[in-house]
């Protein structure tokens, strides 16, 4: 029987993390995180001394990217496209939920 190891990270909504920390907890290399920033798939909350700082919730996005990369053996271009499509789907779902709530 195969056992799956699950790693949990407690996210503080007001917390932030560095590129290095994001890389460590997501399983992506720093170069992969930077490529996802360059493609717009990961968006830093701000820059501090020229270095990107991320909202803690970005950990979830980065871990999703790592799972997609591993599960589907995606290169960085494919991963960027997949992340962009997922973000678009999530935005459309939020819009649909909002419209449904407004129109009963």
- Cα 48 from Cα 50, distance rounded (Å): 5
Q: Residues of 45-57 as b/e, b for ≥16 C-beta within 10 angstroms?
A: eeeeeeebbbbbe
Residue ranges of the chain with pLDDT lower than 50? none
pLDDT score, position 37: 97
pLDDT score, position 15: 87
pTM of the predicted structure, to 2 decimals: 0.82
pLDDT score, position 10: 58
Report all structural domains of the chain as residue ranges with CATH numbers, in order of start: 16-102 (1.10.1660.10)
């Amino acid at each position: 029987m195969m056992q799956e190891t699950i790693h949990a990270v407690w996210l503080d909504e007001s917390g932030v993390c560095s590129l290095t920390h994001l890389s460590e907890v997501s399983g992506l290399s720093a170069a992969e995180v930077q490529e996802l920033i360059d493609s717009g798939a990961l968006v830093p909350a701000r820059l501090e001394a020229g270095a990107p700082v991320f909202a803690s919730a970005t950990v979830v996005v980065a871990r999703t990217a790592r799972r997609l990369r591993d599960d589907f053996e995606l290169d960085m271009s494919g991963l960027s496209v997949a992340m962009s499509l997922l973000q678009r789907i999530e935005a459309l779902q939020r819009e649909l939920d909002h419209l449904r709530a407004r129109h009963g």
